[in-house]
Structure 1
Amino acid sequence: MLKKGSKLYSILTGTCPKCQKESMYLDPNPLHIANVLKMNEKCSHCGLKYQIEPSFFYGAMYVSYGLNVAVGIAAFIVSYLIFNSSLKVAFISIIASIVLLFPFILRWSRNIYINMFVSYDPTFKQ
């Protein structure tokens, strides 16, 4: 399902959106909270500079907001509508899911944002 060359592959794996040969992050594990947003300056394979312009990833905040809203709605639907819990339990499940998915959402939002501007280049070889 996740084929190299697709945007979904780059988004979910955190690889360079242009060549998809290396991780954009210094530490590929998002659960190491201290390093969750530390990125390489550029790709060592294709030379793509990840910070395309100064403060480039500030735009990822909007993507992060959308992802958090989606996670909150999904948690509410699962908790309140599927498991028939009370509103208080549904609210707690929303907060818990957003807190637990925090490092993943941070990375996914950056990955989605850079993939909006940079596409995979199948002709690039090194």
Structure 2
Amino acid sequence: MEKLNFLQMLKKGSKLYSILTGTCPKCQNESMYLDKNPFHLMNTLKMHENCSHCGLKYQIEPSFFYGAMYVSYGLNVALGIAAFIISYVILNSSLKTAFIAIIASLVILYPYVLRGSRNIYINMFVSYDPNFKK
């Protein structure tokens, strides 16, 4: 029964769906980003101005996504703790190796953290509207 609830959270209409896919939080029909590949580093944060389906303006106010820095900080701390636990506790590596694992994971996953923090932040303020018609 709980597995069914988790799968429901991944379907269109949930905040988790919008966060994981990077789609418009209001209609979830279009990617917010110009380039879907976050590893194209020059385009990682380049976004459409508005959703072409529902017209939602992504930058709700000037400097809106500065608040995503706080979300990014939290994601990076969680990622660093996870890397430490996996490296030092589970794999029984040295502290030096654990530190290298933390730095490597933060550098490699940096584009995902950037986009993920923006996705989480905008979903804090905009909710899915299944009845919205353009």
Asked if these proteins are the same fold (TM beyond 0.5), I'd say yes
Give the distance between the partners of 2:39 and 2:103, measured in 1 at CA: 18
1:120 equivalenced with 2:128 (yes/no): yes
- For the residues of structure 1 that align with 2:36 and 2:54, how far apart are their CA atoms? 19
Normalization by structure 2: what TM-score? 0.92
Shift of 1:56: 0.2
SS in 1 for 2:50: coil
How is 1:63-102 mapped onto 2 (pairs within 5 angstroms)? 63-102=71-110
* 1:29 Cα deviation from its structure 2 partner: 1.0
Give runs of ≥4 in structure 1 deviating > 3 Å: none
SS of equivalent residue, structure 1 residue 40: coil
Q: State percent identity of aligned pairs.
A: 82
- State the distance in 2 between where 1:23 and 1:16 align: 6
- Give the Cα separation in 1 of the matches to 2:105 and 2:26: 32
Unaligned 5+ segments in structure 1 are: none
Quote how far apart the aligned CAs of 1:125 are: 3.3
Q: Secondary structure at the match of 2:128?
A: coil
Map Cα deviations across residues 7-58 of structure 1 (whole Å, 9 max, x no partner): 0100010000000000000111111111000000000000000000000000
Figure out how many residues of one structure are paired with residues of the other and give that number: 126
Task: Using structure 1 for the length normalisation, give the TM-score.
Answer: 0.98
- For the residues of structure 2 that align with 1:64 and 1:109, how far apart are their CA atoms? 5
| Residue identity matched to 2:102 | I
Residue 110 of structure 1: aligned partner? 118
2:17 aligned residue: 9
CA distance in 2, matches of 1:15, 1:29: 13
**CA RMSD after TM alignment:** 0.7
Unaligned runs of 5+ in 2: 1-6
